[in-house]
Amino acid sequence: MAVTAKRHHYVPEAYLRAFTDGDGRLTVFRKDAPSTPFRTSPSDVALEQYYYAFTRSDEVRDTDSFEQIFSDIESGWPEIINRLKSGDVSDEVTHDLLQFACLQRARVPAVRDAYEIMRADSVGHIARLLQRMGKLPDAPPDSKDILDRVEISIDPESSLEAIALTLDGMVERVLPTLGFRIIHNRTRISFVTSDNPVMWFIPYKNENEIKPYEMIPGAPMEFLFPLTPRLILLGTKQHSTEFREQGLLHGTLTNLETVKRANRLIAKFAYNAVFSEDESPSALVKKYADVSPVAHSTSFPRPDGDMIMVHMEFSSRRTKAKWHQPA
């Protein structure tokens, strides 16, 4: 009899093992409790019960299909890292690395939560539009603000679609604009990682101006993905031609401030958890504990209906209304 997978990781164990200490333990900083880090096994973090479960068209609840697909891809990660450490620049390892990076960006709670929250916001915007148009019953006199207080919950299964949408967006719009390099960290400071480790942004000199996942035609762009405490994947527009002509290149990093900048961004892009070999990033995590990359929407009235604009910004995480499965 097949064993049903209950514990679904959104950051693979195989990836997190590189960030463990000599005892195979990972130091975990929760943004909800940054002053109380704890050590644990990579198998016990970055997971949710039945995170990838969904109901099939035949009404059967499938808890294994997504997890199995992801597990098959993850199984090759240790070999990818070993080859990158040795300076491999082959097309094969480049393909596998970028495939892993795309999947890691798409599968995290930061993406799925944003999708669910935006759908809930959209329902709220439509309700307000219908109210303005007089197509809703009048609210009770003591509840004129009812639409501001109502909680709109979204079926979490629906946000599995966000994984596919994010993958498509990366393949069609993000990867083709960038050239990639593997950067070997030769400083005394290690890279950290997080529950949302794949990042891109416009690299403003003032880091406070950086917005998560912002892309503007003609503007520079930077892509970061920590692979191990000593390796990071760097993508930039300025290296796109070089990448197309020569493939994946390797570089060495000896500038301490560059590593510190990368870790600041990793901590800021973290959704709810930062992972490290030890407790040395404690002050860094505390500094960015109150912000995460979060989706927000704005409604602009128009004669033919409202226009809803969605953008990402660094702010406190938004609480989703709890979904209650219909009987």
Q: Report the alpha-carbon distance of residue 171 to residue 72 in Å, rounded.
A: 20
On the question of pLDDT at 146 being above 70, the answer is no
pTM of the model: 0.92
What confidence tens digit (pLDDT) does each residue in 52-105 have?
999 998 988 899 998 888 899 999 999 999 999 999 999 999 999 999 999 999
Q: Which amino acid belongs to residue 264?
A: R
Per-residue tokens: 254: 């000896």
Q: Which amino acid belongs to residue 6?
A: K
Give percent above pLDDT 70 in the chain: 92
Helix or strand (DSSP H, E) at 29: strand 26-30
| CB distance 232 to 189 below 8 Å | no
Q: Report the alpha-carbon distance of residue 263 to residue 294 in Å, rounded.
A: 19
Q: Is the dihedral of CA 101, 104, 110, 115 positive or negative?
A: positive
Higher pLDDT: 65 or 146? It is 65
Per-residue tokens: 147: 């639409």
